[in-house]
Each structure stands twice: as structure tokens, then as C-alpha cells.
Amino acid sequence: MTAITSTTSAATTATTASSSSSLALGTTDFLKLLMTQLTNQNPLDPQDPTEFTSQLATYSGLEQQINMNQTLTTMSDNMSSLLTQVQLLASAQS
């Protein structure tokens, strides 16, 4: 199990360095880490299925959070645009 940890740590370091422009771990980065971990696991001592399930649930939660963030950003942009239009209408009527 130590080999998995050290390989995963190396993958984490590489992923962190490659995504230095964004501070958040993206879905692609998460899947790369998960696949690296699965590829390099010891066949005689495979990963605990409950841990694997937990990681997949974490991925699902991450994906939902990203979708929610995109939705909130879109709503914020729409509200800002609507507020600007209302202000323009109010100033035109004055």
C-alpha cells in the first residue's frame, strides 16, 4: 500500500503543478488521480472497496458542486444584467 501512496503523492504533485492557474482541483484532475491510484495498486493487496466507493461519491459531489457553481454564476450574471437594465430605465424616466 505504500507504493500506491507514494505514486498518488507524485501524481498529486504533478497535477497541482499542472493546474497552478486554477486553485481548485477539477474533475479531470480528480479522475487522473483516481486512475493513477487504480493503475498502480498492488494486485496482491487491492484497494478497499469501501474506500473506492467513497472516492467515487466524492467525485460525484465534486461534479455537482461544479455544476451548481456554474448555475449560480449564470444567475448572478443575469441578475446583474437585469439590474443594469432597470437602472437605465429608471434614469431614462427621470
Q: Which residues of the chain have pLDDT under 70?
A: 1-25
Task: Return the pLDDT at 8.
Answer: 45
Q: Which amino acid is at 87?
A: Q
Distance, CA of 30 to CA of 65 (rounded, Å): 14
- Residue count (the chain): 94
Task: Return the pLDDT at 16.
Answer: 45
Task: State the sign of the Cα–Cα–Cα–Cα dihedral 11, 12, 14, 15.
Answer: positive
Task: Return the pLDDT at 37.
Answer: 83
Within 10 A of 37 (CB to CB), how many other CB atoms are there?
19
Task: Return the pLDDT at 19.
Answer: 41
Report CA Rg, the chain.
22
Among the listed residues 22, 16, 15, 27, the one whose alpha carbon sits nearest the alpha carbon of residue 65: 27
Query: What digits encode the pLDDT tens for the residues 62-79?
Result: 889 989 999 999 999 999
